[in-house]
Amino acid sequence: MNELQTLQASQGATFETISGQTIAQSFGNDAAAYTAAQQGLALCDRSHWTLLRLTGDDRQQFLHNQTTNQIQLLQPGQGCETVFTNSTGRTLDLATVCTGSEALEVIASPGQGDALMTWLDRYLFPADRVELHNLTGEFALFSIWGQPDTLDGINLDSTQVGQHCQWEIAGVTVTAITGSGLSLPGYTLKVPQADAAAVWQSLTQAGAVPLGQTVWEQLRIQDGRPMPGDELTLDYNALEAGLWRAISFTKGCYIGQETIARLNTYQGVKQRLWGVQLTQAVDVGTAIEMAGKAVGQITSVSSGLVAEGAIALGYLKTKAGGIGSQVQVGTTQGTIRAVPFVSHDYYEPDSA
């Protein structure tokens, strides 16, 4: 165990290995942590998430050409969410980009570092002035939800995901980034690994309730945040995943742009990601049925912290319906529900 994990163990943490890194699964306080994330102040260790850095004079144009959002016009201190897609618009990952004066940093999902490094390197030409660095594990990444006095001094626009600034806590200078990884208001803190325990201790002593991966997964599914291997796979494109928030329809060409633009222009999205309220838990992959016909399938399930039944994410054929639709999922009943992280409205140029 490193110093941070030793501290977390003293706070009741039990651990598991995720993407090759040891991370707190639970602090034995799941119900309290779940409530704190939505109504108070909560803290989650996301140090197992991927962290990439791009340097070189062409870094911004290069990433602009590889992902869905408008990277080229970002100024130092600004950022955004963006999607890595393949040539047919299928999703590889959703990431947060932070623009600095000398580098771009990309926070991506756990276990995606090697794959994204390989993917980006594939499109690097000898003349490109870009260097790729995988910093995963070299910094601690914490999500903190809430806006109490503890976070005074973080002067960021809460609506601009990826906007960032330097912030000092416990005598340590960290990077505070708008966005918690979910639609819940909060920040991501990038902390030097050597100072991670001191920062974590300072935040928990100030009242932040530590939150493990069990609660994170519950919050993620409830929020509708899609993840690689579950909702973000080569079976689904970025519009089906509801990631309109991370797509620019006014930028130039990028990998997958032609497919995504055509789907928007002709309103051709055939299936959509929704939340599903279930009377009981089911297995991932269970078919979603209406009138005895399969109209989709479940991609993620979580139970235990909701009042009744279970919550899930799943793809549903567009023609089958949407919010409020009643469905059969295995042997249990379900209701299609909205999830705040995703949206399904087509982009209209006149409304921009």
Helix/strand/coil for 76: coil
Same CATH topology for 3-48+137-223 and 270-345?
no
Q: What is the pLDDT of residue 147?
A: 67
Q: What is the pLDDT of residue 108?
A: 98
Q: What is the pLDDT of residue 152?
A: 81
pLDDT above 80 for 195: yes
Where does the chain have alpha helices with state H? 3-10, 30-39, 59-66, 113-122, 196-205, 213-223, 257-265
Choose among 103, 59, 88: nearest CA to 238: 88
pLDDT above 80 for 150: no
Mean pLDDT in residue range 184-201 = 96
Residue 125's pLDDT band (cuts 50, 70, 90):
very high
Q: What is the pLDDT of residues 36-63, one digit of tens each?
A: 999 999 999 999 999 999 999 999 999 9
Q: What is the pLDDT of residue 151?
A: 82
| Percent residues over pLDDT 90 in the chain | 90
Mean of the per-residue pLDDT values of the chain: 94
What kind of architecture, by CATH, is found in domain 3-48+137-223?
A: 2-Layer Sandwich (3.30)
Q: What is the pLDDT of residue 148?
A: 62
The pTM score is 0.96
Q: What is the pLDDT of residue 311?
A: 94
Helix/strand/coil for 195: helix
Mean pLDDT in residue range 57-76 = 97
Using CA atoms of 68, 121, 163, 189 in order, give the dihedral in degrees to the nearest 10: 130
Q: What is the pLDDT of residues 296-315, one digit of tens each?
A: 999 999 987 765 789 999 99
Using CA atoms of 117, 121, 123, 126 in order, give the dihedral in degrees to the nearest 10: 160
> Within its chain, how far is the Cα of 345 from the centroid?
20
Q: What is the pLDDT of residues 74-83, one digit of tens each?
A: 999 999 999 9
Does the domain at residues 270-345 carry the CATH identifier 1.10.3720.10? Answer: no
Domain boundaries, given as residue ranges, for the chain: 3-48+137-223, 270-345
Which neighbouring-strand residues pair with 173?
168
CB 308 within 8 A of CB 247: no
Mean pLDDT in residue range 22-29 = 95
Mean pLDDT in residue range 275-288 = 96
Q: What is the pLDDT of residue 153?
A: 83
> Within its chain, how far is the Cα of 315 from the centroid?
18
